[in-house]
Amino acid sequence: MYAIPLGAPGDDGKRVELRPLEPWHGEEFLAHLNRGREFINRFIPFGATAMDLDGARDVLQRYADRRAADTGSLHGLWLDGRLVGGVLLLNFDAANGTCEAGCWLEPAATGRGLVTRAARVLIDWAIESRGIHRVEWVAAAGNEASLNVARRLGMTRDGVRRGAHLHHDVRHDLEVWSVLAPEWREARARTTPEGIHDGTHDDH
């Protein structure tokens, strides 16, 4: 099992790790959702579906099945040993070189740049290890925190899918952002000598 440290200046010495989020994390995942359910559920569907331990395990199992099928994956963010959110890959299609990345966080973990740093690791892996050419980021037009992550990742806003997402009986416009492999590599080359942006001033 991997555990990738994501610590950076500004974390007040807190230990931040990116790890796989698996079905056996069901109790921890449920406790995390219960802490931030109202906040998470504004835009993330599993905030409403994983209401008990069986529901939490079901969500995690679905993503474990996607990992096994090589069509997606779920990765948790632990802050000082507590699960506080995560990043994920959806619609992963290695043959066509495309995928979608996404995220979620509980309120106590915002303002530290955790998602931006974790998403960089995930996108870098998708492009450099799996040959993905286009990574999308799709978020509701009102989800400003998520859209800001897309901006910080250097993505381009491709357009809006009007009324494409039904959530809580409300139709939301979805903004589609993307980055292509050559753009990603060029941006990395302009950062630190190691090609890693520390995310110190990121908000999400």
User: In this structure, what token pair is assigned to residue 151?
Assistant: 């901006």
Task: Report the predicted TM-score, pTM, of the whole model to 2 decimal places.
Answer: 0.86
Q: Indicate the residue type of 107.
A: P
Q: Residue 27: what pLDDT?
A: 97
> For residue 94, what pLDDT band results from cuts at 50, 70 and 90?
very high
Strand order in the sheet with 98-105: 4-5, 16-20, 73-79, 82-93, 98-105, 134-140, 170-180, 156-167
In a domain, 167, yes or no: yes
pLDDT at 204 over 60: no
Question: Residue 202 domain-assigned?
Answer: no
Domain assignment present for residue 160? The answer is: yes
- Output the domain CATH number for residue 157: 3.40.630.30
Closest CA relative to residue 113, chosen from 202, 16, 14: 202
Output the pLDDT for position 71: 97
Phi/psi at 180 (5° precision): -100, 155
Q: Looking at the 3D structure of the chain, how many domains does it have? A: 1
Distance in angstroms (rounded) separating the CA atoms of residues 63 and 198: 28
Q: By residue range, what is the domain housing residue 62?
A: 15-189
Structure-model confidence comparison of residues 80 and 200, the more confident one: 80
